[in-house]
Amino acid sequence: MTNTGNEGDFKSKITAYVVFCWIFAAFGGLMFGYDIGISGGVTSMDDFLIKFFPHVHEKKLHAHEDNYCKYDDPNLQLFTSSLYLAALVASFAASKLCTMFGRRSTIFFGSLFFMAAAVLSALGEKMWMLIVGRILFGIGVGFGNEAVPLFLSEVAPVQHRGAVNILFQLFVTIGILIANLVNYGTSKVHPGGWRISLGLAGVPALFLFLGSIIIVETPASLIERGHHEKGRQTLEKIRGVKDVDAEFESIVHACEVAEKVKHPLKKLMQKSSMPPLIIGILMQVFQQFTGINAIMFYAPVLFQTIGFGSEASLLSSVVTGLVNVLSTFVSIFAVDKLGRRVLLLQACVQMFISQTVIGVILHALLKPTGSLDKGPAIVVVVLVCMFVMSFAWSWGPMGWLIPSETFPLETRTAGFAFAVSSNMLCTFLIAQVFLSMMCHMKAFIFFFFAAWIFVMGLFVVFLLPETKGVPIDLIADRVWKKHTVWKKFMDDQDA
């Protein structure tokens, strides 16, 4: 029997073992999140600034220094952003590794880079050690972010694929929250609190390392590499049933189709591959241009800018981190019921309002020197939470989910690498230029992000098709060929 993705025939139980595999793999997301969350707090710690960026510390102490500019320093931003440049390059290497050696090995290598990075950064004495540490973290992120979402999608029972994929994002948010809590604690430890913050990344890295030894390789990856018998046994193991014929046949069929494509990259550049490629890249570019990482990286800095003390600022970022985690559960429960588009559109409205009102308040009330009164400062924190909340149930998880479910198997790893690297490039840009932009644009930076969010709303309305409930193998027929705009790309039969 040839089954090309009729989900009704796929039998499975959710076994403890498969849940265990999801959770251990999702630690890759936790590492990514920890890295995102840790740098903002570390770069606002006085001990860290005095040791590596004394001139920034000097600026910070100046009572009359411009509020919006006190942290603007290209090297300080390079500390945060270098990680993403390394991750960008590494995600392409990881896509090759995923195809040649499998998802599990790629996760394993990623965890080694994370552990080396944690040790080097914690021992950091010189600037170069910090930067090399960030680059090693970046390679780990590139490997993890390419392999983990693919791993989760491939080992998930097909009817729960959306929710299982979002576990990656859930662990990203948990990682950010843990980092915020760690920073809150270590900011009270002098002079080496920042070392603890950076070094503690080694703990989840160790979990990921152990996990990568214990978890299975995905059946698709085993079969794709010619290990049919092992692939079948693994499928039986993770599905918890003996009768896996339909799903096994479907994977074998997808592998046969994929095998005919000798040059996935060439195939990816053909006209008929453009719809998922354009959508995958734009989902990630837009995800970043919501301005989320201006908040995630620099929340403590931002809160200090509006006049909070160092401790209150770190505490406020713990609050935004908690909102981020809890709101992600909304998408886990809603994504396969309400669909992707509704969540994305609702979030565009909520995010647009939050960014605009923050901009108006800061423009009207925050002068270059002095600080906001308590009332408006609290309103800004509430608006930041509203923004983070809507991002967490929409563009956050969907940025990873949609690119992972719209490519056919033959272009999936390569196509997904383009999506991952677009994310990294834009994350790099925001991390690198946000503080300078804030210094030059002042409160208008928030209107800049609001304008992007407006464009994103139009994108969802006119260009983003709904993929809820459509089996991956049938996306081309049921989605792209039916869409007013994208069907024009599907007319030709590229070889």
**Residues near ligand BGC (CB under 6 A):** 36, 169, 172-173, 176, 287, 292-293, 296, 324, 396, 399, 423, 427
- Residue entry with tokens 């950064």: 121
Instruction: Identify which of residues 124 and 162 has a Cβ nearer to ligand BGC in the complex.
Output: 162
Token pair recorded at residue 247: 């799903």
Instruction: Identify which of residues 307 and 396 has a Cβ nearer to ligand BGC in the complex.
Output: 396
Instruction: Identify which of residues 36 and 365 has a Cβ nearer to ligand BGC in the complex.
Output: 36
Instruction: Identify which of residues 326 and 441 has a Cβ nearer to ligand BGC in the complex.
Output: 326
Work out how close the CB of 400 gets to ligand BGC at its nearest, in angstroms, rounded to a whole number. 6
Return the closest-CA partner of residue 383 out of 405, 409, 414, 352. Answer: 352
Q: How many alpha carbons fall within 13 Å on the CB side of residue 239? A: 24
Instruction: Identify which of residues 194 and 297 has a Cβ nearer to ligand BGC in the complex.
Output: 297
Instruction: Identify which of residues 215 and 424 has a Cβ nearer to ligand BGC in the complex.
Output: 424
Instruction: Return the SS3 of 157.
Output: coil
Work out how close the CB of 292 gets to ligand BGC at its nearest, in angstroms, rounded to a whole number. 5
Work out how close the CB of 211 gets to ligand BGC at its nearest, in angstroms, rounded to a whole number. 21
Q: How far apart are CA 272 and CA 259, in angstroms?
A: 18
Q: How far apart are CA 68 and CA 140, in angstroms?
A: 33
491, 267 Cβ separation under 8 angstroms = no
Q: How far apart are CA 342 and CA 4, in angstroms?
A: 29
Work out how close the CB of 423 gets to ligand BGC at its nearest, in angstroms, rounded to a whole number. 6
Q: How far apart are CA 288 and CA 282, in angstroms?
A: 10
Instruction: Identify which of residues 255 and 279 has a Cβ nearer to ligand BGC in the complex.
Output: 279
Q: Is 298 exposed, middle or buried (0-12, 13-18, 19+ CB in 10 A)?
A: buried
Work out how close the CB of 325 gets to ligand BGC at its nearest, in angstroms, rounded to a whole number. 9
First CA to last CA distance, the chain: 26
Q: How far apart are CA 327 and CA 388, in angstroms?
A: 8
Instruction: Identify which of residues 385 and 476 has a Cβ nearer to ligand BGC in the complex.
Output: 385
Work out how close the CB of 172 gets to ligand BGC at its nearest, in angstroms, rounded to a whole number. 5
Cβ-Cβ contacts under 8 Å for 302 (sequence gap 6 or more): 294, 295, 313, 384
257, 407 Cβ separation under 8 angstroms = no
Instruction: Identify which of residues 254 and 292 has a Cβ nearer to ligand BGC in the complex.
Output: 292
Say what angle helices 292-305 and 274-289 make with each other, to 10 degrees: 10
Other C-beta atoms closer than 10 Å to the C-beta of 469 total 12
Work out how close the CB of 239 gets to ligand BGC at its nearest, in angstroms, rounded to a whole number. 29
Instruction: Identify which of residues 122 and 325 has a Cβ nearer to ligand BGC in the complex.
Output: 325
Instruction: Identify which of residues 109 and 297 has a Cβ nearer to ligand BGC in the complex.
Output: 297
200, 181 Cβ separation under 8 angstroms = no
Work out how close the CB of 282 gets to ligand BGC at its nearest, in angstroms, rounded to a whole number. 14
Instruction: Identify which of residues 36 and 366 has a Cβ nearer to ligand BGC in the complex.
Output: 36
Work out how close the CB of 258 gets to ligand BGC at its nearest, in angstroms, rounded to a whole number. 27
Work out how close the CB of 188 gets to ligand BGC at its nearest, in angstroms, rounded to a whole number. 25
Whether the upstream peptide bond of residue 368 has omega within 30° of 0, thus cis, is no
Work out how close the CB of 171 gets to ligand BGC at its nearest, in angstroms, rounded to a whole number. 10
Q: How far apart are CA 179 and CA 397, in angstroms?
A: 19
181, 322 Cβ separation under 8 angstroms = no
Work out how close the CB of 495 gets to ligand BGC at its nearest, in angstroms, rounded to a whole number. 35
222, 230 Cβ separation under 8 angstroms = yes
41, 314 Cβ separation under 8 angstroms = yes
Residue 366, CA distances (Å) to 372, 373, 484 in order: 6, 9, 47
